[in-house]
Amino acid sequence: MATRTLGRAAKALLAPALALGATVGLASAPAQAAVWNSCEQYGNTSLNGYTLYNNIWGSGAGSQCIWANSGTNWGVWANHPNTGGIKSYPNAKKVINKSITSLGSLTSDYNVTVPSSGAYNTSYDIWDTGYKYEIMLWVNKTGAVGPLGTSQGTLTLGGHTWTVYKGNNGSNDVFSFVRTSNSSSGTVDVLPILKWIKDTKGWFGNVTIGDLQFGFEITSSSGGLDFVTNSLSVSSS
């Protein structure tokens, strides 16, 4: 089971940018020249309303480089050893900053190309502004990875069927929605999921949703694997 920790996004903002020992350079770049790339541990940039993070935060990590043509078309080349524990969560972040009751809609489209080997999940990571609650939506997973907490059963909501898990990592509550079958593209209607947590389960109140991140939570990718976000959109009103 993967160990959850607080503040992957916060670490990317607060920690110094540390160069990794092994730099793979162009191995991380797409066929066309990228607008931005970085092999720094917490390398980040902002492009067309999204903030991109390389975000190598776990212990025992190997090398990883991120490239981006835009905030919604980006990828990473990662070479993390075949050991347990999450090594990184490269992601694109969209700031929402609206309470659940003030949201009229919150949806996202995703299209990814992911490897058939390694251990990872492709997921949304959604935080309230106080970083007390973390909502994860796993759209695909491969290898020995699993969510924190205990199963709360299966639910069809937001356009997908999920197995729901509830846990706490000692710093914040974590609600994980793991898709019952892998998907590489689709649309997620996020707001009904937030309302289900708030109104049906009462696991939190009318919290303000701060960061909505989308990326790849990588445990292992030995030998070097490519993870690509072909397209992404996040819309709210």
pLDDT averaged over every residue in the chain: 90
Letter string b/e over residues 176-211, b meaning 16 or more CB atoms within 10 A of that residue's CB: bbbbeeebeeeebebbbbbebbbeeeeebeebebbb
* Average pLDDT of the segment spanning 54-67: 98
Q: Which residue has the higher pLDDT, 148 or 17?
A: 148
Per-residue pLDDT band for 1 (boundaries 50, 70, 90) equals very low
Query: What residues have CB less than 8 Å from 91, skipping those under 6 apart?
Result: 8, 9, 52, 53, 55, 125, 213, 214, 215, 216
pLDDT at residue 150, as a whole number: 98
Q: What is the mean pLDDT of residues 159-164?
A: 98
- Residue 49: which of 72, 82, 77 has the closest Cα? 72
Least confident of 8-22, 138-152, 163-177: 8-22
* pLDDT grade for 32, boundaries at 50, 70 and 90: low
* Domains of the chain, each with CATH number or no CATH: 8-236 (2.60.120.180)
Catalytic residue among 128, 134, 173, 211: 134
Model pLDDT, residue 12: 39
Q: Which residue has the higher pLDDT, 198 or 18?
A: 198
pLDDT in the model for residue 235: 97
Rounded average pLDDT over 13-36: 50
Percent of the chain with pLDDT over 90: 86
Residue type (1 letter), 96? I
The catalytic position among 52, 217, 224, 232 is: 217
Residues 68-127 pLDDT 10s: 999 999 999 999 999 999 999 999 999 999 999 999 999 999 999 999 999 999 999 999
Q: Does residue 32 contact residue 69 with C-beta atoms inside 8 Å?
A: yes
**Cα–Cα dist 98/96, whole Å:** 6
- pLDDT at 207 exceeding the cut of 80: yes
More confident residue, 3 or 199: 199
Q: Catalytic site residue 40?
A: no
Under the banding of pLDDT at 50, 70 and 90, the label for residue 8 is very low
pLDDT of residue 33: 73
pLDDT confidence bin for 203, thresholds 50/70/90: very high
